[in-house]
Amino acid sequence: MRGRLPRLLALPVTAAVLALPAVPAMAQEIPTTPIPQPKDPGQPPISSPPNVQPTGKAVGDAGTGLGVLRLLPDAVPTSAIIDEMSEELPKQAAFEGGLGLSSAQANSEAYLAYERSIAQASPFGASVAGNAPQLPGSLVQTALPDNPEPITGGLNAPPNPLLNVGLLNGKAHARWSPELGPCVGTIADASTSLASLSVLNVIPSMPQAGELTEAGDGLKDTLGKLPGPLASLGGLLSGGDKPKGDGTGSLISLPNTLSSRSTVRLVDIPDSDRKAVQSISTMQAADINILKGTPLGLTIKVASQPTLTVTSTGNKETSTVEYKAPVLTVERNGEVLFTLDAANPTQDIPIGIPLPGIKEIAGFEQIRDVPVIGGLAELAENVTKPITEAAKGFVLDLGVLRLSIAQLNEQSMDMTDPFKGYQLGASARLLDLQVLPTKLLKDALPEDAAEKLPSSLAQLSLGEQIARAYAPEGGVECGTIKQPGPPPGGGDAPGVPEKLAQTSAAYSTVPIFWTGTGLLLAGVVLVAALPGRRRLSAATDPAKPSPYPRS
């Protein structure tokens, strides 16, 4: 059974990592196996605690995803047991795919020993309309029992139409002490590294030209002249069976190694002998390419690596959230176009379709029938030219590429169950890339199709990070509680009486049994003996007639 546990845990842990960015830093317990309770309240507990119990109480988790792709986000209603709750819960994406996921969890209050420390490195995770099937290749290590060494492994992703992935490597290490519990330094540590990544050579949720109504007849003609359908951004994307390994033909690609790491550990509290719970999520990335291989392509330089650290001392005043926000510079052909940082976290890049009349404007006679990205048009022989004021009226914006960073969210609360303390959590993202439809595109669709069209056709998040820490008031106390045992030298335990009191008639069953048996035997003897005495009296007394005939 022990060998099957990591595979059994792969699904819930992967589903948890995918769900964390959607509801960041929720103030709730880490889901674990519930403690079984007796059916009759008068029954004894399921099991007694061990003789040695750690005093340390600590709950924390950290999760990092190198990339999370969402198609039609906020498009599928969330199912719930109570029908009324389905309308109140936020909607989910039609498809979610996670890549390079690492998660670390610690929970001293878990009923099952192997759920107290869990480290997982997953190459993939997927959710279809909120349902998460189990995917192979995950590395999971649990404790107890303790693990002196981590487990490692690698996986090459199979071909698929959405992403091309180089070699994925993972490592997972879970620690827990039978005597000191979480007081082992680093409790759970998981990491993944990825050689390369290419995502979205096709946007399947993009409407097709055939779906447009009569209001979009003119647009149909224009789209028909493009070298590819809207799903491939008019031919800018390859639209083949799978993205290419070098990143060309994909909406976004990362040619260099990127990695994620999630850690939960205990750290010292200044001027105290107790410990704080600390959860850390880190990510390392280099260049990020958008529309690589085209004259309209962009390069995003990651100037600083994001690190999210959440520390809980059990008290609100001394618990902290530290976030090292990334700084991204967006370049084209070596020229810096804009910078994404805490002061400017969002930038929109319009996607337009040139109308035939633009070729009558001076300078645009040789414009190619491909989308205009960010106001830059592609001419013959890979020459690019910014759209002038005179040419803007001949470009229809059908979509928007929205780039955004940071989005740090924090949430905290005082806790009393399962122990009194303070919980603090936060989430952030390195980069969000969304493909948004414009009003013009919605107006060109049938009314029912326009209503179903979500606010975002596709969303790719790089570097999703979440961390949460929960410590008892005053910090984690490292020590051991020993249950009272028998006194030294043998003998009865103190306080045990020599003879138990008779609290029920059940203690008298043995004497009652033997008394009843004796009375029964006496009755049998009397019944058997009395008729013989009557016969003897009649035979010896001549005054009484004999009952027996004389011979």
What one-character-per-residue DSSP string does 505-530 give? GGGGHHHHHHHHHHHHHHHHHHHHHH
Identify whether the C-beta of residue 403 lies closer than 8 Å to the C-beta of residue 419.
no
Can you read off the two tokens belonging to residue 396? 């229809």
The CA–CA distances, whole Å, from 484 to 44, 79, 205, 472, 529 equal 19, 49, 65, 25, 64
Identify whether the C-beta of residue 287 lies closer than 8 Å to the C-beta of residue 300.
yes
Chain segment 481-512, per-residue pLDDT in tens = 766 555 555 555 555 555 555 555 555 566 67
Q: Residue 261's beta-bridge partner residues?
A: 191, 282
Angle at 373 between CA 372 and CA 378, to 5 degrees: 50
Give the pLDDT of residue 228: 74
Task: State the number of CA atoms in the 13 A half-sphere of 295 facing the CB.
Answer: 17
Rounded to a whole number of angstroms, the distance between the first and last alpha carbons of the chain is 93
Give the pLDDT of residue 442: 72
What is the mean pLDDT of the segment spanning 271-297? Answer: 86
Mode of pairing for the β-strands spanning 328-332 and 298-302: antiparallel
Check residues 229 and 145 and name the one with the higher pLDDT.
Answer: 145
Chain segment 261-282, per-residue pLDDT in tens = 999 999 999 989 999 999 999 9
Rg for the chain, CA atoms, rounded: 38
Give the pLDDT of residue 308: 93
Reply yes or no on whether the pLDDT at 538 is more than 70. no
Phi (first) and psi of residue 440, to 5 degrees: -60, -40
Q: Residue with structure tokens 């390994």?
A: 245
The Cα–Cα gap between 350 and 187 comes to 46
Residue 48's pLDDT band (boundaries 50, 70, 90)?
Answer: low
What is the mean pLDDT of the segment spanning 435-459? Answer: 73
The Cα–Cα gap between 254 and 304 comes to 16
In this structure, which long-range contacts are made by residues 533-538, counting pairs with CB atoms below 8 Å and at least 24 apart in sequence?
Answer: none
Reply yes or no on whether the pLDDT at 16 is more than 50. no
Give the pLDDT of residue 174: 94
The CA–CA distances, whole Å, from 456 to 127, 143, 396, 434, 436 equal 18, 41, 19, 6, 5
Name, in order, each residue with C-beta under 8 angstroms of 98's C-beta and a sequence gap of 6 or more. 14, 17, 18, 65, 67, 68, 122, 124, 125, 126
Mode of pairing for the β-strands spanning 52-54 and 480-482: antiparallel
The Cα–Cα gap between 540 and 551 comes to 17
The CA–CA distances, whole Å, from 329 to 297, 332, 453 equal 14, 10, 32
- Specify the range with the lowest mean pLDDT, choosing from 245-249, 329-333, 514-518: 245-249
Identify whether the C-beta of residue 232 lies closer than 8 Å to the C-beta of residue 208.
no
Residue 28's pLDDT band (boundaries 50, 70, 90)?
Answer: very low
The CA–CA distances, whole Å, from 196 to 232, 295, 485 equal 22, 22, 59
Mode of pairing for the β-strands spanning 252-254 and 197-199: antiparallel
**Residue type for position 369:** D
Q: Residue 53's beta-bridge partner residues?
A: 481
The Cα–Cα gap between 111 and 363 comes to 73
Q: Residues of the chain with pLDDT > 90: what percent?
A: 16
- Specify the range with the lowest mean pLDDT, choosing from 13-22, 77-86, 191-200, 307-316: 13-22
The Cα–Cα gap between 476 and 467 comes to 18
Reply yes or no on whether the pLDDT at 528 is more than 90. no
The Cα–Cα gap between 350 and 439 comes to 13
Phi (first) and psi of residue 324, to 5 degrees: -90, 100
Cis peptide before 145 (omega within 30 of 0): yes
The Cα–Cα gap between 191 and 121 comes to 6
Full-model pTM = 0.68
- Rounded mean pLDDT of the chain? 74
